[in-house]
Every structure is written in C-alpha cells, then in structure tokens.
Amino acid sequence: MAASHHAHDDEHPKFLAHHFDTPEQQFDTAKFGMWVFIVTEILMFGGLFVAYGIYKSEDPHLFHRAHLELNRIMGAVNTVVLLFSSLTAALAVRSSQLGKKDQTTMWLVITILCACVFLVVKYFEYTAKLEHGFLPGRCFGHPWFGDHCTDRTAATAHPIPVHHLPSRANVFFALYFMMTGLHGVHVLVGMGILIWVTRRNLRGDFSKEYFTPVEIGALYWHLVDLVWIYLFPLLYLVG
C-alpha cells in the first residue's frame, strides 16, 4: 500500500491498532474481512437455497399448494420493514462519516426497532403456522398447541387433521422453518451487533476519522436484508 510511505509516524491515533500502518489500511482490511465473511454467509444460506431448488423442481405443484398457506401480506410487511431498516443503517453510516454522533445514535436505534418489529411479525406468523398444523414432523397436520402432540401421539389425540396437505408437504415447511429460522437468528445477531455499535457510539468511540464498526455492523445488517430479499419471493410469492 503506497499510503504507508506517506504516513506520519508521529501521528498514531488511539483507534489505530499497532499492526496497521495507517487508518486507511485498517479500514480496508476490516472491510475486506467483512466481505469474505459475507461470502461464507451466502454459501451457508446457499445450501438451503439449493435444497429448496431441488425439492421444488421435484414437485412444483406440491410447493405451490403449500406456499399458499403462507401469509404474503405479513411477508410483504416484513420486507418493507427490513428495507427501511437497511436505509436507516445506511443513514447511520452516513451520519457517522460526517461525525454527527446524535444522528448516528438515532438511526441505529430506529434500525434496532425495525429489527424488533420484524421479529414480532415473525412471531405471529410462526404461531399461526403451528396452530394450523404446519410444523414438520410427526405432528404435521395437527395443531401444535394444546393437549396434543406433547406426548408425540398427535394422530390419536387429534385424529382429524386441520389441513389437507399431503404429508410430503413436510418438505416445504421444513425448508420454510429452516430458512426463515436461520434468517431470524441472523436478525437476532444483527440486533446484538447494532446494540454494541450504538453503545460504542454513545461512548464517543467514533469520529469522521474512525467509523469502521458502524460501517461493518451496517454491512452485516444489509446482508440480513439481502437474504430476505431472496427468501420473500421464493417462499411467499412463487412457492
């Protein structure tokens, strides 16, 4: 990096780790590492997307019937919430780059609140799915809550299924719960990261010269948004 030759050795800011020559080198290294991490995340979700593609093409009609049971209004609301939170995350980075600490805090808090809204909507979706007997496994076809399924004898406790999807539709809902569940875990982790970034921002760690954690945290949050951008149409819209 050419910059190192021009660095002022006497100026060694507090935020600059000793193994980096310049703030620029530190910033670029952090971003590069984050992008590599994003690649591993994409490939982790990729396994599920490939499974989805294979099973869908083996029985498209079944997937179509099963996906009609998902609430696409709730899915669309959550899409808008996540897109908005991505905007606020980008605005938080911008405020941080401009050294506006209070604005950064505001945008970060709004982003975290959006994450909460997303999880609340997801909670209602999951509850409805469990009540309507879509939890894959032995209880498939039978409501999960109540006096049944606790002893794993759903069929005897509730002989009449609450929906008429064939048991093969298990596959769709297994993928639905795995994909949205793994994504939900990422939302939780993202919230944790954003809370940590907010705390550091309140502590006054960041400035025009050093905003790397805000940038990296936002990158993680955008990744959560990216995954959902594909999950929403594939699960809720086209099945």
Partner 1 sequence: MSDTTHDNHDGKVHAHISSWRFLVAIFFTLIFLTFVTVQVSYYDFGSFNTVVALVVATIKASLVSLFFMHLRYDKWFNGFIFVMAFVFLGIFLLLTSDDIFTRGQIDYVNGRTRLERSGAIAPGALEPDPETPHEQAGHGASSAGTHSQTSEHH
Closer CB to partner 1, 38 or 202, in the complex: 38
Site pattern 43..82 for partner 1 (x: CB under 8 A): x--xx-xx--xx-xx--x-----------x---x--xx--
Please report, as residue ranges, which positions from 89 to 128 form the binding site for partner 1 (by CB under 8 A).
89-91, 94, 97-98
Distance between start and end Cα atoms, the chain: 49
Contact between 142 and 133 under an 8 Å Cβ cutoff? The reply is yes
CB atoms within 10 A of CB 209: 13
d(CA 223, CA 231): 12
Q: What residues contact 31, with CB distance under 8 A and at least 6 apart?
A: 212, 215, 216, 219
Closer CB to partner 1, 27 or 126, in the complex: 27
Contact between 62 and 168 under an 8 Å Cβ cutoff? The reply is yes
Site residues for partner 1 per CB under 8 A: 2-8, 21-25, 27-28, 31-32, 35-36, 38-39, 42-43, 46-47, 49-50, 53-54, 56-57, 60, 72, 76, 79-80, 83-84, 86-87, 89-91, 94, 97-98, 209-212, 215, 218-219, 222, 225-226, 229-230, 232-234, 237-238
